[in-house]
Structure formats: structure tokens, C-alpha cells
């Protein structure tokens, strides 16, 4: 290693779980074991203890970030001599398929809602911004569902811009995992929350900058604090296959499920199919599009084989 490399500043502070947990600094736990059981996803074995050690310090940190961003906004409106209005604080949660993004987002939402001020905390996933299956088929990219080009990125950026501008009742398309498609004509309204959590694969992706230097907005420009859930690729593959087997025995058996035909697979066939999906779709998307955004996150939570957080990295301010 040359001298320049040795002296390069590290972009992140590193913490063991014990070191990170100590930063909780007496923050009270407001969730019960039953709450954690209800909030966790099918294949994520998070416990109440894990939530206390990892997410309580994070919510304490977020309280400082929210206070700082609100203070900056007040200064800006005072300078511009404009009426002060509430500007939602946006948290992004990114990471691979099967890494546990949904669990993280739900637990954060539940903890933040129980702050003393009782803020309104809404949660949106980027699934609703996927093009419909019909449109993906028309574009010839149905097999690349989940890749950046399968999303209506323009609509997603406009949604975030509307949220940040304080617009009321901003609509989000509804996505059904049961039918594996956007539900035509179905939307939910997000009405000026105090905090918005956005969860998705590619929310930190910057995209290409125009050579003309013309200003352009990316989704990540609207995110005030971002969390990337990280894990080794071989662990992610194992978790994806485990989740596929659990879904085969539960949700896939619903007669209305898009995946109903997979419910009758035997173990060998199901395992072979799940590995094929991981290696031909999810892994390439992870390596080419999702993983490269990890270094843009404010906080990286690294999981071990047991799905538990082992290492925490916080970006230096």
C-alpha cells in the first residue's frame, strides 16, 4: 500500500455491536417482544434484544438529525422571508433482496412513532413505482423486474419532490405481492408526515449526470438519512432460498397468488428453481446496481450468517 492510500481518510466510523449499543445512552425501549414478532418479516429472526442493541441507538441519532434539518430549514425560510412550513424528514432503507429491509423499516417506523412528540411516521416501499407487468412485458424487461429500468423513476422522483415541498395527499400506487403486480386504479395518500421512511433496492442509485451540466434530480437527493443493510452474497442466497421455501408453504398456496404453481413443487425442484432465480436475476441486480450504492449510505448495518447485526458503520459528517 502506498503512502497516499495509507493516509486517505476513512469515510466511516466503525463500531462493534457492543460499542454501538452503548450509544443508546438510556433510551427507553417502547416496543415489546410481541411487537417485534408482529413487525418482523417471514425469514428475519430479529429479537427484542437485537432491536434494543441496534435500533434504539439509531433512533437516538435520528432525533439529532431531525432537529438539525428542521433548524436548517428554519434558517433558510427566515433568510428567504417565506412562511415556515413543515418539511418531512425522509429516511431511506436500502439493500439486497432477502436482507431484511422491510423489518428494519417497520421497526424504525414503530420506534419513531413512539417518540414523546408522537410524530406522524409513514412508510412507503418503491414496489408501487414498478411498471405494471403489462408494461414490463411490452418493454421486453419482465425478466428484469427489480432492476432500475423496471421502475417509473420519474414518478418516484416527483413523489419525493412533492413530499419535500409540503404538498398534501401525495399519492403512491399500490403493489400487491400476492398478484405480483401494481394494482390498477389503487393508490394510497401520504399527507405531510413528520417523517417518511422509503424502503427499496435502488433508492441510493445516482444515475448518469448530463454532460451539459444541466441540473438534474435523483431520488437520493431528497433523502436526509440513509441506511444500507449489508450481508455476504452467499448468506443472502441462503436467506432467499429459505424465504422461498417458507412462502411455498404459506402465501404461494393462496389460490389468487401469482406464484400458486410453485406451491406444488417438491423440495428438490423448489430449491433448484430458487437458486436459478437468485443467480440469474437477484445476484446480477445486487452486484451491478444495489451493492455499488452501499458507499453512499449514511449508516451501514452488516449482518452475519445468523441474520444478526455484527458491525455498524456511520458516515463521518
| Residue among 117, 121, 120, 89 at smallest CA distance from 105 | 121
When the pLDDT of each residue in the chain is averaged and rounded to a whole number, the result is 92
Whole-model pTM? 0.93
Model confidence pLDDT, tens digit, residues 42-91:
778 899 999 999 999 999 999 999 999 989 888 988 898 888 777 899 99
Q: Which three cell numbers stand for residue 120?
A: 406522524
**CB environment 176-209: b (16+ within 10 A), e (fewer):** eeeeebbeeeeeeebebbbbbbbbbbbbbbeeee
Average pLDDT, integer, range 156-174: 95
Distance separating alpha carbons of residues 222 and 218, to the nearest angstrom: 8
Average pLDDT, integer, range 210-225: 83
Average pLDDT, integer, range 11-38: 94
Distance separating alpha carbons of residues 109 and 308, to the nearest angstrom: 19
Neighbours of 5 (CB within 10 A): 7
Task: Tell me what pLDDT residue 73 has.
Answer: 87
Q: Which three cell numbers stand for residue 81?
A: 422571508
Do residues 24 and 316 touch, judged by C-beta distance below 8 A?
Answer: no
User: Which of 174-178, 264-268, 276-280 shows the lowest mean pLDDT across its residues?
Assistant: 264-268
Do residues 106 and 37 touch, judged by C-beta distance below 8 A?
Answer: no
Residue 181 has pLDDT above 70, yes or no: yes
| CATH number attached to the domain at 10-203+216-315 | 3.40.50.300
Amino acid at each position: 500500500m502506498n503512502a497516499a492510500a495509507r493516509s486517505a481518510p476513512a469515510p466511516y466510523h466503525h463500531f462493534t455491536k457492543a460499542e454501538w449499543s452503548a450509544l443508546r445512552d438510556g433510551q427507553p425501549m417502547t416496543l415489546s417482544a410481541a411487537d417485534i414478532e408482529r413487525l418482523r418479516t417471514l425469514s428475519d429472526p430479529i429479537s427484542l434484544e437485537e432491536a434494543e442493541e441496534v435500533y434504539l441507538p439509531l433512533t437516538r441519532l435520528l432525533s439529532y438529525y431531525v432537529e438539525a434539518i428542521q433548524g436548517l430549514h428554519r434558517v433558510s425560510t427566515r433568510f428567504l422571508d417565506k412562511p415556515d412550513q413543515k418539511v418531512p424528514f425522509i429516511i431511506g432503507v436500502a439493500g439486497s433482496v432477502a436482507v431484511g429491509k422491510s423489518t428494519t423499516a417497520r421497526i424504525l417506523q414503530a420506534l419513531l412513532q413512539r417518540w414523546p412528540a408522537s410524530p406522524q411516521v409513514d412508510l412507503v416501499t418503491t414496489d408501487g413505482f414498478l411498471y405494471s407487468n403489462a408494461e414490463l412485458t411490452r418493454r421486453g424487461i419482465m425478466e428484469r423486474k427489480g432492476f432500475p429500468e423496471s421502475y417509473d423513476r420519474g414518478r418516484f422522483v416527483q413523489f419525493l419532490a412533492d413530499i419535500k415541498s409540503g404538498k398534501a395527499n401525495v399519492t403512491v400506487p399500490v403493489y400487491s405481492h400476492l398478484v405480483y403486480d401494481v394494482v390498477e386504479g389503487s393508490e394510497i395518500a401520504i399527507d405531510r408526515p413528520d417523517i417518511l421512511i422509503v424502503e427499496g433496492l435502488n433508492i441510493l442509485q445516482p444515475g448518469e449526470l448530463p454532460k451539459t451540466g444541466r441540473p438534474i434530480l435523483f431520488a437520493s437527493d431528497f433523502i436526509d438519512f440513509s441506511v444500507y443493510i449489508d450481508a455476504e452474497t452467499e448468506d443472502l442466497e441462503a436467506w432467499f432460498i429459505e424465504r422461498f421455501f417458507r412462502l411455498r408453504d404459506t402465501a404461494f398456496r393462496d389460490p389468487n397468488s401469482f406464484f400458486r404453481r410453485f406451491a406444488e413443487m417438491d423440495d428438490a425442484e423448489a430449491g433448484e428453481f430458487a437458486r436459478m432465480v437468485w443467480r440469474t436475476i437477484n445476484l446480477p441486480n445486487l452486484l451491478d446496481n444495489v451493492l455499488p450504492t452501499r458507499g453512499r449510505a449514511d449508516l451501514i448495518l452488516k449482518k452475519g450468517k445468523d441474520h444478526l447485526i455484527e458491525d455498524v458503520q456511520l458516515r463521518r459528517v
